[in-house]
Amino acid sequence: MTHQPRFIFVTGGVVSSLGKGLAAASLGALLQSRGYRVRLRKLDPYLNIDPGTMSPYQHGEVFVTEDGGETDLDLGHYERFTGVNARKTDNTTTGRIYADVLARERRGDYLGATVQVIPHITDAIKDFILADTSDHDFIICEIGGTVGDIESLPFLEAIRQLGNELSHRQVVYIHVTLLPYLAHAGEIKTKPTQHSVKELLSVGIQPDILLCRTELELAEDAKRKIALFCNVQPDAVIQGKNVSNIYEVPVAYHNEGLDREVLKHFNISDAPAANVQPWQELVQSWQNPTHSATIGIVGKYVGVADSYKSLQEALHHAAIANRCRLTIRWIDSESLEAKPTVLDQLTDCDALIVAGGFGQRGIEGKLGAIRYAREQGIPYLGICLGMQLAVIELARNKLGLTEASSTEFGSTSEPVIGMMTEWQQGGQVVTRGTRDDMGGTMRLGAYPCQLSSTSMVAKIYGSELIHERHRHRYEVNIGYRQQLESAGLKFVGLSPDQQLTEVVELAGHPWFVGVQFHPEFQSKPFAPHPLFVSLVKAAIARHQGQLGAAA
């Protein structure tokens, strides 16, 4: 008999931003702690083919998978909470589903049929959900958006059909809702939850478990009331009280019985016990720091909390590993352009990061911050654009190439950063043109990088061959290598064919590293990324006045 995975569908009601992604990720972690194999997937109702073309202002960070998918940031939570690498095929959108169906229609695959939402779109959605699932015990599928949105209807219809087609004990519906507290009435209100469940019922889905987000403790009688009106068992009304740290969520949901209710629904009575101890220890380390440091992140999208989600989490992981109370100072790169405030914002930072980004806005501010870090001996990590700008800064201010720039910002006589039109991937030549579509034309996903054995980064990684995830169009112009080396820039990490610059270090500086990739995507709470661990260590040393100055 073939293995039958069980499907857990997570929908959201009342408002967005309820932490559906974290709930799904936490449930995944809890089931995994019982020895089950889980995979998490996300269905996004918007029309973009993927979030790659969306501004972080719209939808937060674009999370890049190992296999080069540009995906929703919730996949980052899934990876961090379960340690299971997400794949390109774990995230889809309305746009992608329609694009595939329409391509098939053009090919004539539908043999003259009228192509319709039901069954053609819903079949394509079901194919996405069911594909490649046999190696897993549980597939957790999060439906983006809020129940009641026009765009999410085909997704809800597809998961309704699956509930009917698969056996009842193979599918569970979890609905995440909000219980607002009205201060003047002194009460938690259950009506929006009731309405949201009605909305789900109107598309034929009766939720089995309600996950109720609340600021306050949910009294037993409120649970009974919700159960009565929403037609679920009182035990299946799970309180999701706000916590101060996202890594508290798995333990909190476990204590409320979320994983127990899921197993109960599936009639699994012999499940191994959950082991939440590692999560408890993690939170304890977080809560009991012995050091402190401040890291400044200079970026263009700092006003939007989710824009640098993975970076923020990677720093938290590294802070926990160093037992450090880490303050992250978000610094708007454009605000750095209004001198003389530049130094004010940076003086109490023990380390600086210039994050990845696109376009010209805020560039001068970032260059100013990099120069400051370079000259003052402040630990500096340049990620992707932050690495490219470190190269530009050095070329301009140490080599005197005043026109040094990236062709991303317009034509220049000194293109120290330029677009590669051809490179090797898996033994094959890949090309891209300057006029190609913006969507999906970048160097994306994991690439190998060879580190020089004498470099600081090789020591940090404890390895000379690393694999890191990329998302960019431009590269260091290797033609400037000799000149840049003469200014102290060491090309310590290169692609195996030596054509692409992956890591640079600065000679005579206590900690100055630029990486063309995004190390933050691989950091996990139980496997903090070595680069961030080392950066936070350097920041602590600087905070304690124990770090050397720049030569």
CB nearer to ligand GLN: pick between 154 and 418: 418
Q: Give the residue numbers annotated as catalytic, written as ranges.
A: 384, 518, 520
Q: Which of residues 389-408 bind ligand GLN (CB under 6 A)?
A: 408
The two structure tokens encoding residue 114: 């009228």
- Applying CB under 6 A, the site for ligand GLN has a residue count of 10
The two structure tokens encoding residue 381: 């990590």
Q: Which of residues 400-459 bind ligand GLN (CB under 6 A)?
A: 408
CB nearer to ligand GLN: pick between 77 and 471: 471
CB of residue 444 vs ligand GLN: minimum separation in angstroms?
10
CA distances from 85 to 16, 66, 69, 82, 426 (A): 26, 7, 11, 8, 20
Contact (CB, 8 A) for 368 and 358: no
385 binds ligand GLN (CB under 6 A): yes
**One of 471, 509, 537, 542 touching ligand GLN (CB under 6 A):** 471
**One of 301, 474, 512, 521 touching ligand GLN (CB under 6 A):** 474
Q: Which stretch binds ligand GLN (CB under 6 A): 79-87, 156-164, 271-279, 355-363?
A: 355-363
The two structure tokens encoding residue 92: 């889809």
CB nearer to ligand GLN: pick between 128 and 301: 301
Reported residue count of the chain is 551
Q: Which of residues 61-100 bind ligand GLN (CB under 6 A)?
A: none
**One of 160, 223, 254, 473 touching ligand GLN (CB under 6 A):** 473
**One of 136, 254, 317, 472 touching ligand GLN (CB under 6 A):** 472
Cβ atoms within 10 Å, residue 215? 11
Q: Which stretch binds ligand GLN (CB under 6 A): 101-109, 254-262, 346-354, 472-480?
A: 472-480
Q: Provide the mask over 309-348, with x wherever binding to ligand GLN is found by CB under 6 A and - wherever it is not.
A: ----------------------------------------
CB of residue 195 vs ligand GLN: minimum separation in angstroms?
42
- What burial class does residue 23 get, using C-beta atoms within 10 Å of its C-beta: 0-12 exposed, 13-18 middle, 19+ buried? buried
Helical axes 277-287 vs 249-256, angle rounded to 10°: 130
CB nearer to ligand GLN: pick between 279 and 474: 474
289 secondary structure, DSSP code: -
Give the type of residue at 391: V
Q: How many CA atoms lie within 13 A of 63 on its CB side?
A: 26
Distance CA(53)–CA(51), nearest Å, equals 6
CB of residue 417 vs ligand GLN: minimum separation in angstroms?
7
Q: Which stretch binds ligand GLN (CB under 6 A): 157-165, 367-375, 453-461, 465-473?
A: 465-473
Cβ atoms within 10 Å, residue 270? 5
**One of 283, 331, 384, 460 touching ligand GLN (CB under 6 A):** 384
Q: Which stretch binds ligand GLN (CB under 6 A): 48-56, 121-129, 356-364, 374-382?
A: 356-364
Name the one residue in this structure whose structure tokens are 């023990």: 350
298 binds ligand GLN (CB under 6 A): no
273 secondary structure, DSSP code: P
**One of 60, 76, 296, 357 touching ligand GLN (CB under 6 A):** 357
**One of 358, 372, 447, 491 touching ligand GLN (CB under 6 A):** 358
Contact (CB, 8 A) for 536 and 318: yes
Strand partners, 212: 177, 239
Q: Which stretch binds ligand GLN (CB under 6 A): 145-153, 173-181, 466-474, 484-492?
A: 466-474
Q: What is the 3-state secondary structure (H, E, C) of 13-39?
A: CCCCCCCHHHHHHHHHHHHHHCCCCEE
The two structure tokens encoding residue 79: 């990876």
**One of 207, 356, 415, 493 touching ligand GLN (CB under 6 A):** 356
The two structure tokens encoding residue 548: 């050397």
Can you list the positions of beta strands (E) in 179-220? 181-182, 187-188, 209-214
Q: Which stretch binds ligand GLN (CB under 6 A): 39-47, 396-404, 448-456, 467-475?
A: 467-475
Q: How many CA atoms lie within 13 A of 27 on its CB side?
A: 33
CB nearer to ligand GLN: pick between 50 and 408: 408
Name the one residue in this structure whose structure tokens are 């969520």: 249
CB nearer to ligand GLN: pick between 62 and 205: 62
Task: Output phi, psi for 267, to 5 deg.
Answer: 60, 35
Site residues, ligand GLN (CB under 6 A): 356-358, 384-385, 408, 471-474
